[in-house]
Structure 1
Amino acid sequence: MNKTFVGQNILIHCYKHDGSIHRCWDKGLVLEETPHHFIVVNNRTLVTEADGRKWYTREPAICYFPKRKWYNVICMIRKTGVHFYCNIASPTLYDGEALKYIDYDLDLKVFPDYKYKILDEEEYQQHKAAMNYSDELDDILHLQLSQLIDMAMNMSGPFRPGFAQHWYHYYQSGNYRKRRGHHGFSK
């Protein structure tokens, strides 16, 4: 991605392992792009499911999309605090059309008190068999799930206190329109 995309709305496409489209967001505003990740905000964004069902996101969210890690983290900003929804997924890429990644079913939900719940384990097992996930892929995905849990328990990376609020305030300030590129809170 070219740094000029910072401050621009782009599409986000989520696929399944077999190449089928899973879900599309009609826009995400890019706040930062580094060699390691994208940080995107969405708020009341139209989402289209594979079956054609459409809905809008309910609250603002800061989305952390690593380029080299097998997960992404959606930080949903609610009155009760930041709720994290983590997708075990392929590394995210931008191909000139959209941010794209493959969803691998396993999800981690982290609550504002940092308690967590692993979701969709049955769906993962079904898709692993149906789509022939390799043993190597299975190992990678479970390792990333374990690492995400460790990050949440240690309040590091996108789970750091203040991370989501910082990026949301940055978005609200409109400063992303003035500065393109690295903003400095992501390390």
Structure 2
Amino acid sequence: MNNLNSGEVVQIHSYKHDGNIHRAWQQTVVIENSNDLIIGANNKTKVTESDGRNWYTREPAVCYFYKNHWFNVIGMLRKDGVHYYCNLSSPYLFEEGTIKYIDYDLDVKVFPDFNFKILDRDEYDKHRKRMQYPPKIQAVIDQELQFLLNMINNREGPFRPGITEHWYRVYINNIIGGI
């Protein structure tokens, strides 16, 4: 386990397999840190793209970063319910005040009714060839995608009904309210 405490503000950096920065979130607030999982939350945080463009997230989000799984999950709280965006990625690494991971292109968008879409297969295929993803990584991505889809279908982890709303309340009541 790392030395992160609830309430600490950290950045999030997403890289590509070739080591280049892909995207950076200016801040997220740690609300839970365990041996396998960091949960953070943010609202209207600044995001910087690799080309220098900036934008701000539109809604509150709870982010789940795994130490032993090749994906992360962002639960976005919207008026019609929680929407999830799942990135197939390396397990996180925490260093220099930043949660870091490698984005492996494939994404899963999950709607409030738990229907989902797998996105960016073309981007995955293009980068897999161009950056020469090793066969072991390709196999892990395939395996972890199936694990993630099972979590979604079984409403486990971040997909358990009410859990993202719970963590957002912890963020608002205990973290933001305590600052």
Is the TM value for this pair above 0.5? yes
Query: Which residue of structure 1 lines up, in the alignment, with residue 170 of structure 2?
Result: 170
In the alignment, the residues of structure 2 paired with residue 122 and residue 83 of structure 1 have an alpha-carbon distance, to the nearest angstrom, of 23
Query: Which residue of structure 2 lines up, in the alignment, with residue 144 of structure 1?
Result: 144
| Aligned-residue RMSD, C-alpha | 1.2
Q: What is the aligned residue count?
A: 177
Question: Are the counterparts in 1 of residues 7 and 175 from structure 2 also a CA contact under 8 Å?
Answer: no
The aligned runs of 1:26-175 (5 Å cut-off) are: 26-175=26-175
- TM-score for both structures, normalised by structure 1: 0.92
Deviations 1:83-129 (A, max 9, x none): 01000000011113310000000000110001000000000000000
In the alignment, the residues of structure 1 paired with residue 8 and residue 119 of structure 2 have an alpha-carbon distance, to the nearest angstrom, of 32
Write the letter of the residue equivalent to 1:96.
Answer: E
Specify every segment of 5 or more residues in structure 1 that has no aligned partner in the other structure, as ranges.
179-187
Deviations 1:9-57 (A, max 9, x none): 1111000000000000010000011011100001000000000110000
Identity of aligned residues (%): 50
Write the letter of the residue equivalent to 1:28.
Answer: T
- TM-score for both structures, normalised by structure 2: 0.96
In the alignment, the residues of structure 2 paired with residue 126 and residue 175 of structure 1 have an alpha-carbon distance, to the nearest angstrom, of 41
SS of the counterpart of 1:7? coil
In the alignment, the residues of structure 2 paired with residue 34 and residue 177 of structure 1 have an alpha-carbon distance, to the nearest angstrom, of 22
Query: Which residue of structure 2 lines up, in the alignment, with residue 6 of structure 1?
Result: 6
Q: Does 1:22 align with 2:22?
A: yes
SS of the counterpart of 1:174? helix
Write the letter of the residue equivalent to 2:63.
Answer: C
In the alignment, the residues of structure 2 paired with residue 113 and residue 48 of structure 1 have an alpha-carbon distance, to the nearest angstrom, of 31
Deviation at 1:175, TM superposition (A): 5.0
In the alignment, the residues of structure 1 paired with residue 3 and residue 97 of structure 2 have an alpha-carbon distance, to the nearest angstrom, of 13
Deviation at 1:174, TM superposition (A): 2.2
Over 2 Å off, 4+ runs = 174-178
Question: Are the counterparts in 2 of residues 31 and 176 from structure 1 also a CA contact under 8 Å?
Answer: no
Specify every segment of 5 or more residues in structure 2 that has no aligned partner in the other structure, as ranges.
none
